[in-house]
């Protein structure tokens, strides 16, 4: 088997939201992970402004590529393949990454791999814990998605078992943080505050967890009602002139989210006879989610894999990790008409080309 030094050098580009991420990977070895975030530019709007994000990606692209190459002590000419997030995400933001990847592929004469952002959140774990056990169950929780997936082949076969029917888990964290007067993005602030609060102080609802929900929504989530319940609870306190116990609200809200996420993920492993659970996406950085998942997986005899927090939030290394795996498994590269698809379904792992438009009858 080839040593990491012999494995092809893959550059990954991530621009689906507000992070310009450039990663350099040889098979499962991480050489560089450079990220430029435009989050501070969006903070005063309380959410990501797509046009601002696209402009920031344009400005950050070349300096971030240079920073990654310097970190890895390689030249651009050493890169053997380029991988890029082709979707899902913000269209304008994705387009910047896809255009940059095509330019590199064309200029350097190397293969281009358009990949699915969600599959990359799964593949990134290989950089920390080695080869992915397949099949595994993946719980992906980010600002845009909350899904439970079964992954027989991370480069070609990912099947959704369930997803959020409304807000994503990270979106709920961000919205509740706003209610509590915390800065955007709110997840890390709630995580920090909750450590000083009582998670059992307020009994917030566990959505889609009733026996009747198990028929149509076995592995689905819903966080919109929970967010409203928190807002109402806080509003009632404020109207009555009572001080809001912010740490208790944060801890009780966080517990309601991670309780449902971990319960359904462990149930998915049990029901599908899969012994490995992987958690990825920005919310996987949450300390309580990590602790509860560890506890419940240990009790159920399931091996848990969660990448370190810096690899859970959006980054280029995850895209490079998936690109390297595609190269190693000899998957076909994308063609230069690779589209950016803002609503790319999770089951579309590699993105090859634009489907030809039907020719109108003459």
When the beta carbons of 147 and 334 are compared against ligand KG4, the nearer one is 147
Element spanning 227, H or E? helix 224-239
Q: Which stretch binds Zn ion (CB under 5 A): 50-58, 82-90, 137-145, 219-227?
A: 137-145
Tell whether residue 286 is a contact of ligand KG4 (CB under 6 A): yes
CA 312 to CA 269: how far, in whole Å?
A: 21
Pick left, alpha or beta for residue 149 (phi over 0 → left; psi -120 to 50 → alpha; otherwise beta). Answer: beta
Considering the complex, what minimum distance in angstroms separates the CB of residue 14 from ligand KG4?
9
When the beta carbons of 7 and 154 are compared against ligand KG4, the nearer one is 154
151 close to 134: Cβ distance less than 8 angstroms: yes
Which DSSP category does 358 fall into?
P
End-to-end CA distance of the chain: 56
Task: At 166, list the tokens.
Answer: 């409304």
Considering the complex, what minimum distance in angstroms separates the CB of residue 93 from ligand KG4?
11
Of 77, 41, 116, 67, the C-alpha closest to 350 is: 116
> Which position among 54, 142, 222, 334 is part of the footprint of Zn ion (CB under 5 A)?
142
Q: Which stretch binds ligand KG4 (CB under 6 A): 152-160, 265-273, 282-290, 292-300?
A: 282-290
Q: Site mask, ligand KG4, residues 294-323, x = CB under 6 A?
A: -------------------xx---------
Tell whether residue 191 is a contact of ligand KG4 (CB under 6 A): yes
Backbone angles phi, psi at 38, to 5 degrees: -100, 15
Tell whether residue 283 is a contact of ligand KG4 (CB under 6 A): yes
Considering the complex, what minimum distance in angstroms separates the CB of residue 39 from ligand KG4?
9
Considering the complex, what minimum distance in angstroms separates the CB of residue 48 from Zn ion?
12
When the beta carbons of 15 and 142 are compared against Zn ion, the nearer one is 142
Residue 5: which residues within 8 A CB-CB, separation 6 or more?
26
> Which position among 282, 307, 316, 350 is part of the footprint of ligand KG4 (CB under 6 A)?
282
Alpha-carbon distances of 139 from 180, 306, 351, rounded to whole Å? 27, 10, 22
Of residues 136-175, which lie at the interface with ligand KG4 (CB under 6 A)? 142-144, 170, 173-174
Q: Strand, coil or helix: what is 23?
A: strand
Q: Which residues contribute to the site for ligand KG4 (CB under 6 A)?
A: 17, 142-144, 170, 173-174, 185-188, 191, 281-283, 285-286, 313-314
């Amino acid at each position: 088997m080839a040593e990491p030094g012999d494995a092809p050098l893959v550059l990954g580009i991530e621009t689906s939201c507000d992070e310009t991420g450039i990663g350099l990977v040889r098979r499962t070895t991480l050489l560089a992970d450079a990220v430029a975030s435009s989050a501070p530019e969006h903070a005063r709007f309380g959410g990501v402004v797509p046009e601002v994000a696209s402009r920031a990606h344009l400005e950050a692209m070349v300096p971030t590529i240079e920073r990654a190459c310097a970190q890895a002590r390689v030249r651009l000419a050493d890169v053997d393949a380029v991988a890029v997030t082709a979707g899902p995400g913000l269209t304008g933001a994705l387009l910047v990454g896809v255009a940059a990847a095509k330019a590199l592929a064309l200029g350097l004469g190397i293969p281009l791999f358009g990949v699915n952002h969600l599959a990359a959140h799964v593949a990134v774990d290989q950089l920390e814990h080695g080869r992915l056990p397949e099949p595994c169950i993946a719980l992906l929780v980010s600002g845009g998605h909350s899904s439970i997936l079964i992954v027989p082949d991370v480069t070609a076969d990912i099947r959704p078992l369930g997803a959020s029917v409304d807000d994503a888990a990270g979106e709920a964290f961000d919205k509740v943080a706003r209610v509590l007067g915390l800065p955007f993005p709110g997840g890390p602030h709630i995580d920090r505050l909750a450590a000083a609060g009582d998670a059992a102080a307020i009994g917030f609802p566990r959505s889609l967890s009733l026996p009747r929900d198990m028929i149509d929504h076995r592995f689905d989530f819903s966080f919109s009602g929970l967010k409203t319940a928190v807002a109402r609870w806080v509003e009632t306190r404020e109207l009555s002139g009572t001080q809001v116990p912010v740490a208790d609200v944060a801890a009780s809200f966080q517990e309601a989210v991670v309780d449902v996420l971990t319960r359904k993920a462990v149930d998915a492993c049990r029901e599908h006879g899969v012994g490995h659970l992987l958690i990825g996406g920005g919310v996987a950085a949450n300390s309580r989610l990590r602790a509860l998942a560890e506890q419940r997986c240990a009790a159920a005899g399931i091996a848990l894999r969660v990448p370190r927090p810096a690899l859970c939030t959006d980054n280029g290394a995850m895209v490079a990790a998936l690109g390297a795996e595609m190269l190693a498994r000899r998957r076909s590269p994308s063609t230069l008409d690779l589209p950016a698809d803002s609503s790319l379904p999770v089951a579309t792992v590699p993105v090859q080309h634009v489907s030809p438009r039907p020719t109108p009858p003459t």
